[in-house]
Amino acid sequence: MRTLDDLDVKGRRVLVRADLNVPLDGETITDDGRIRASVPTIRALAGRGAKVIVCAHLGRPKGQVKPEFSLRPVARRLGELLGQDVAFATDVAGPSARSTVEELQEGQVALLENLRYEPGEESKDDATREAFAAELAGLAELYVGDGFGAVHRKHASVYDVPRLLPHAAGGLVVAEVEVLRRLTEATERPYVVVLGGAKVSDKLGVIANLLTKVDRLLIGGGMAYTFLKAQGYEVGGSLLQDDQLDQVRGFLNEAAKRGVDLVLPVDVLAATHFAEDAPYDVVEADAIPADRQGLDIGPRTRELFASKLADARTVFWNGPMGVFEFDEFAGGTRAVAEALIGSEAFTVVGGGDSAAAVRKLGLPEDGFSHISTGGGASLEYLEGKTLPGLAALED
Ligand code: 3PG
Ligand code: MG
């Protein structure tokens, strides 16, 4: 991949695809990690005299202009972090975008409105996507791909635009790929992966691939209940994907056959209902009462997971262990994070929710070797898939 150093950007219009998809509460950004991660590349380009045009998506407005998905609050925050004004275009590639770009001086930065307001951005029809890509490309002379969190999407701004303009990978994409490469090539052992999050169906591909690579696979979070059920346990009202039971039984067999230590919760916090203040008991994982639901891993599981991480040399963690948004049910996620912070291993936190959890729990970000900005993207990379946004940058 070409990098920023390979581009002569002075005085030129450079379109930067960033991932600025941050959680919002109204217009308040509740976690600005992805904006901060995007700053170095934008600053470097501006510092070299480029006219920087940033494009990004927010949420899933599905091709419609919906004000609650506007990037305007993000432009403000980006400006604060850069320490310079960020001009904001109120459309993506229309009259506002064109005049905003025209007014840009060397070293100045503009942000375009949410790419996903345009149906062409995500269209499955190549011609529709390419037509929109041509409009976007028309705003600029060069392209920098730096939206690591979106490189697994075959979208116009990610996949088609770099085929129309001279391009390079931004610093964030380069750094993320370097880390993921370390997780897939000549990995130091023991290699332990911790997976959580709500749905096992989101992780099927990565589990199948990891079972051929890791020494231990620790499973917590909502997806663990489908594994417990597959072992014949009752899970009460816990999250369950009935249609995945066969798949999961296959994983349990495969792990046993390959000698992978697949570790499941041994106890859980079983709550009466899904709420911050719901009463709960610690129960054995094989004895969840029918009228209860598991909202976090229990204390014995936290110790078990920590012991399985203690001698690891490489760790990848994706997905919370429980409903960390509720203080009462954040303990399992905190325990895993703390085990990683205390570890000598090369530790990588993958993705949106787990990265946000680390920050929400007030844990030191520098306690980890790397916190990725891409959840789906890092999982698909580890799954061994070709990521369209990386393939386009490599060409
Ligand atoms: C993310 O939040 O994972 C990335 O920004 C990609 O967003 P998407 O999952 O809506 O494509
Ligand atoms: Mg996502």
Render 248-307 in DSSP notation, one character per residue: HHHHHHHHHHHT-EEE--SEEEEESSSSTT--EEEEETT---TT-EEEEE-HHHHHHHHH
| % pLDDT > 70, the chain | 100
The alpha carbon of 34 and the centre of ligand 2 are apart by a number of angstroms equal to: 13
Ligand with the closest atom to the CA of 61: 1
The alpha carbon of 216 and the centre of ligand 1 are apart by a number of angstroms equal to: 28
Q: Whose CA is nearest to atom 1 of ligand 1?
A: 149
Question: Does pLDDT of 4 surpass 80?
Answer: yes
The alpha carbon of 68 and the centre of ligand 2 are apart by a number of angstroms equal to: 18
Please, are residues 144 and 170 in contact by the beta-carbon 8 Å criterion? yes
Nearest ligand 1 atom, CA 375: 3
pLDDT of residue 266: 98
Mean pLDDT of 137-165: 98
Question: Does pLDDT of 244 surpass 90?
Answer: yes
Q: Whose CA is nearest to atom 6 of ligand 1?
A: 150
Mean pLDDT of 374-392: 95
Q: Given ligand 1 and candidates 17, 19, 29, which is best to mutate, with the most ligand atoms within 8 Å of its CB?
A: 19
Q: Given ligand 1 and candidates 21, 116, 123, which is best to mutate, with the most ligand atoms within 8 Å of its CB?
A: 21
Q: Could you tell me the maximum CA-CA distance found in the chain, to the nearest angstrom?
A: 67
pLDDT of residue 18: 98
User: Does residue 196 line the site of ligand 1, with CB under 6 A?
Assistant: no
Mean pLDDT of 353-358: 87
User: Does residue 21 line the site of ligand 1, with CB under 6 A?
Assistant: yes
Q: Whose CA is nearest to atom 9 of ligand 1?
A: 376
User: Does residue 153 line the site of ligand 1, with CB under 6 A?
Assistant: yes
Residues 6+ apart with CB under 8 A from 100: 87, 88, 89, 110, 112
Ligand with the closest atom to the CA of 197: 2
In angstroms, rounded to a whole number, what is the distance separating the alpha carbons of residues 370 and 98? 37
Going edge to edge, which strands form the sheet with 51-55?
A: 86-88, 109-111, 51-55, 13-17, 142-145, 167-169
Q: Computed over its alpha carbons, how large is the radius of gyration of the chain?
A: 22
Q: Which residue has the tokens 């096992």?
A: 200
Is the peptide bond preceding residue 166 cis, with omega within 30 degrees of 0?
no
In angstroms, rounded to a whole number, what is the distance separating the alpha carbons of residues 88 and 77? 12
pLDDT in tens, 310-335: 999 999 999 999 999 999 999 999 99
pLDDT in tens, 69-94: 999 999 999 999 999 999 999 999 99
Q: For residue 327, what is the enclosing H or E element?
A: none
Q: What is the mean pLDDT of the chain?
A: 96
First to last CA, the chain: 8
pLDDT of residue 395: 86
In angstroms, rounded to a whole number, what is the distance separating the alpha carbons of residues 32 and 356? 9
Catalytic site residues? 34, 199, 352, 376
Closest CA relative to residue 57, chosen from 381, 379, 376: 376
Please, are residues 305 and 311 in contact by the beta-carbon 8 Å criterion? no
Please, are residues 91 and 113 in contact by the beta-carbon 8 Å criterion? yes
Nearest ligand 1 atom, CA 155: 11
pLDDT of residue 202: 87
Residue 233: exposed, middle, or buried by beta-carbon count in 10 A (0-12, 13-18, 19+)? middle
Please, are residues 117 and 70 in contact by the beta-carbon 8 Å criterion? no
Helix axis angle for 331-341 and 299-309, nearest 10°, is 20
Mean pLDDT of 261-280: 98
The alpha carbon of 264 and the centre of ligand 2 are apart by a number of angstroms equal to: 25
Question: Does pLDDT of 123 surpass 90?
Answer: yes
- Give the burial string for 287-299 (b: 16+ CB within 10 Å, else e): ebeeebbbbbbbe
The alpha carbon of 106 and the centre of ligand 2 are apart by a number of angstroms equal to: 34
Mean pLDDT of 334-341: 97
Nearest ligand 1 atom, CA 60: 10
Nearest ligand 1 atom, CA 153: 11
Nearest ligand 1 atom, CA 59: 10
Closest CA relative to residue 94, chosen from 58, 78, 69, 118: 118
How would you write 191-254 as a 3-class SS string? EEEEECCCCHHHHHHHHHHHCCCCCEEEECCCCHHHHHHHCCCCCCCCCCCHHHHHHHHHHHHH
Helices (H), 24-63: 33-47
Mean pLDDT of 170-187: 96
The alpha carbon of 323 and the centre of ligand 1 are apart by a number of angstroms equal to: 20
pLDDT of residue 203: 93
